[in-house]
Amino acid sequence: MSYVTHADLGGREGYGPVVPEAEGDLFHAGWEPRVLALTLAMGATGSWNIDASRSVRETLPDYAQLSYYQIWLAALQRLMQQRAMLYDDELMAAQSLHPPAPVARVLKAETVPAVLAKGSPTERPASTAARFSVGQHVRTRRDRVDHHTRLPGYAHGRLGTIERVHGAHVFADTHAQGLGEQAQWLYTVVFDGQELWGADASAGLRVSVDAWEPYLEAA
């Protein structure tokens, strides 16, 4: 399988404990806010979509050695290089050396609050009826895929129950590959902790996963 994701760490061992940070502790170095701003500005140009950017981030070969915003910066560089918007000699020189590539949109400073408040809704009109309903038992797909997906590895092939139906939403798997939105029904599926983690799971533990219809089959 050619697609190797470094971001799907849920349920894996060997990464040490999760250390919670203080609420509102957003940055740890002066350059990090600039990376956030650059990423938002370039995303607003429409040169790629959010799922494509996630796919690039999770396939960075040195993902595990990078900090959070180092991952964002490395992914931004790769996305721009893939689209001939950034070149190796510019990275070496730390300055622009070529004419800028045209973009569809430009995010102006005065419009940032309104743009962020608006967000990017992903709900779309449904072209089919939902296959599943609240309370129905389902099983997630067992097979791995060689592309970006939002189904966590720890939830593959597991039994769960539909808790909520969200409507049809942009399907991340195809969107990340440049194959279009192909909107699919989206559900919240609830799993018993022991179904995911075995007998060591805490009693009463329940885990919710938002899963698109292609991820599911009737149980």
Structure-token match 């140009």, residue found: 45
68 closest CA partner among 113, 107, 33, 112 = 33
Structure tokens at 195: 């179904």
Structure tokens at 8: 């799907």
pLDDT at 2: 65
Phi, psi (rounded to 5 degrees) for 155: -100, 5
Determine the Cα–Cα distance for residues 67 and 46; give it in Å rounded to an integer: 26
Q: Where in the chain is the domain with CATH 1.10.472?
A: 32-118
Give the predicted TM-score (pTM) of the model: 0.90
Structure tokens at 159: 């039994």
**H or E segment and range at residue 71:** helix 68-82
- Written in H, E and C, the secondary structure of 145-190 is CCCCCCCCHHHCCCEEEEEEEEEEECCHHHHHCCCCCCCEEEEEEE
pLDDT at 1: 47
Q: What is the pLDDT along the chain (219 residues), one digit of tens a residue?
A: 467 888 788 888 888 888 888 998 899 999 999 999 999 999 999 999 999 999 999 999 999 899 999 999 999 999 999 999 999 999 999 999 999 999 999 999 999 999 999 999 999 999 999 999 999 999 999 998 999 999 999 999 999 999 999 999 999 999 999 999 999 999 999 999 999 999 989 999 999 999 999 999 999
Phi, psi (rounded to 5 degrees) for 209: -130, 130
Structure-token match 């740890």, residue found: 28
CATH of 32-118, one of 1.10.472, 1.10.760, 1.10.1660, 1.10.3470: 1.10.472
CATH architecture of 123-218: Roll (2.30)
Q: Where in the chain is the domain with CATH 2.30.30.50?
A: 123-218
124 in Cβ contact with 168 (< 8 Å) = yes
Q: Enumerate the β-bridge partners of residue 204.
A: none
pLDDT at 10: 83
pLDDT at 200: 87
Burial of 55 (0-12, 13-18, 19+ CB in 10 A): buried
pLDDT at 113: 93
